[in-house]
Structure formats: structure tokens, C-alpha cells
Amino acid sequence: MPHIDNGAAVLKRCLALVKSADLLDIRVLVTEQNPRGLGASVDGLIGERHRVIEKESFDATLCPDFVAALPSKETVLFVAGCEAHVCVLLTVTGLLKLGYTVELIADAVGSRSPENKAIALARAQREGALPTTTETAIFGWLGSCRHPRFRDALALIK
């Protein structure tokens, strides 16, 4: 993360997404690209209840364990992470090819350079991914300010 452009903000949004998903019992699936070589996910981002899949292919859909862990194709998948122009983009396009609806959380993805991120977001959208933001995703999951976990989730994005 220290090498990701605006990495602290990307991490903060990813943390809000994961914690909000946990509050709302939304399943979180995590991939780690070559963790023995690049290191595991950032400390504090994932917990025991999250499924972590190690991979070597940049497109996670080329990893049989990842594909086996995916929900039904009626489920909208929300994608966040790094690096936008490699693992994120290639996984998003792979998911789209498999027939999933993908919402790419634009403010919760990062790359080392802003140009790479911008190109990745534009390409993902051209390929069929729906751009969204952290707040839009979380409020969409809540559905209403009357949700019993609304204040808890709101505290995560403030």
C-alpha cells in the first residue's frame, strides 16, 4: 500500500467496505496475489470469517478455487482492491465473461500511478462493469436509514 497512489484513502475505503459487509452479513471473498512473494493482505483488513484465496494468475477467474467460491450468477459482485490495472481489471473482465454483474468500487481501487487507475476504470466500464463508490455500495446494501445497522455502517464511512 505504501506504493499505491493515494493508498491510505483506498485502504480506508476498503476497510469500510469489509466492515460494513460484516455488519450486514455480506460474504467477503479475498484474493491474494502471490502472497509468499508480495506479502499477504494489509493487517486488519480481513478476518477469520473471510475466505482468502491465494492465486498466481492475475485474473482470479483463472484460479479454480476462486471460481468454485463464487456465488450464483444472480448475485451482483462488488469489486475493490489493488492494482486496478492488473489484478482488479483482469478479474473484473473475467467475471463479466462468466456472466456476472460487476460493480467496480472506483474509489476503493488503486494503482501505483493515477494514469493506470484511470485507464483501468475506463476499460472496465467499456467492458460492462458498473462504476460505483464506497458510499453508494454501502448505502445500497443498507437500503434505508431505518436499517438496524445504519448508524454502525455510517460511522465506518465518516
Tens of pLDDT, residue by residue over 63-105, are 999 999 999 999 999 999 988 899 899 999 999 999 999 999 9
Number of structural domains found in the chain: 1
Over residues 133-140, mean pLDDT: 97
Over residues 108-135, mean pLDDT: 96
Task: Please check whether residue 65 lies inside any domain of the structure.
Answer: yes
Phi, psi of 141, rounded to the nearest 5 degrees? -65, -40
pLDDT recorded at residue 18: 93
CB 66 within 8 A of CB 95: no
Among candidate residues 105, 94, 104, the one with its CA nearest the CA of residue 70: 94
CB 112 within 8 A of CB 83: yes
CATH of the domain at 69: 3.40.50.850
Q: Angle 150-157/7-23 helices, nearest 10 degrees?
A: 170
Task: Please check whether residue 2 lies inside any domain of the structure.
Answer: no
Task: Please check whether residue 123 lies inside any domain of the structure.
Answer: yes
Q: How far apart are CA 80 and CA 129, in angstroms?
A: 12
**Other beta carbons less than 10 A from residue 61's beta carbon:** 20
Q: How far apart are CA 144 and CA 14, in angstroms?
A: 22
Task: Please check whether residue 1 lies inside any domain of the structure.
Answer: no
At 41, is the pLDDT very low, low, confident or very high (cuts 50, 70, 90)? low
Q: Alpha helices of the chain — where are they, by DSSP H? A: 7-23, 35-38, 64-69, 89-97, 114-127, 134-142, 150-157
Range of the domain at 143: 7-157
CB 21 within 8 A of CB 141: yes
